[in-house]
């Protein structure tokens, strides 16, 4: 088994949900590879901002990195993750548009557009899953 970027504390996916719901930590996703298939492990770190926490949860759901969120790449998977991050931060945590835009390297008008796109029918399942992971009702 090969390990890339070994984490200091690795927890399973079942315990991951418990950590997110209780302590709301910063989460780094690490990928292990075995002879059969890769699987995810999560590194837990405390003292993070709300936007970082939301971004790490969304990135772990979409199997992408924070660097891809902040890049200029416009692929569907990355764009949808960006839209969900903007929607959750603005709608549920009441973070200013300019701050969210700065976090994802976009303009405030792009954040407004992302919030409108995130409530469309094809995005509802993703948003519901992220809200459940972040314990937002």
Closest listed residue to residue 58, CA positions, set 104, 22, 5: 104
User: For residue 88, what are the CA distances in angstroms to 24, 35, 53, 85, 91?
Assistant: 15, 37, 11, 5, 5
More confident residue, 111 or 53: 111
pLDDT digits (tens, 9 = 90+) for 87-132: 999 999 889 999 999 999 999 999 999 999 999 999 999 999 999 8
**C-beta of residue 9 within 8 angstroms of C-beta of residue 25:** no
pLDDT digits (tens, 9 = 90+) for 15-37: 555 555 555 445 555 555 444 55
pTM tops 0.75: no
Q: Which residues, 6+ apart, have CB-to-CB distance to 61 below 8 Å?
A: 81, 126, 129, 130, 133
Domain boundaries, the chain: 1-48, 49-137
CATH topology of domain 49-137: Chromosomal Replication Initiator Protein Dnaa; Chain: A; (1.10.1750)
């Amino acid at each position: 088994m090969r390990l890339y970027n070994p984490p200091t504390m690795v927890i399973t996916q079942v315990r991951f949900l418990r950590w997110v719901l209780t302590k709301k930590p910063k989460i780094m996703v690490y990928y292990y590879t075995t002879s059969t298939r890769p699987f995810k492990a999560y590194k837990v770190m405390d003292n993070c901002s709300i936007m970082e926490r939301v971004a790490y949860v969304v990135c772990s759901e979409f199997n992408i990195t924070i660097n891809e969120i902040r890049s200029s790449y416009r692929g569907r998977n990355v764009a949808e993750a960006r839209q969900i991050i903007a929607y959750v931060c603005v709608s549920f945590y009441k973070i200013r548009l300019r701050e969210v835009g700065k976090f994802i390297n976009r303009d405030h008008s792009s954040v407004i557009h992302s919030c409108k796109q995130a409530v469309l029918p094809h995005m509802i399942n993703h948003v519901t899953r992220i809200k459940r992971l972040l314990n937002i009702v």
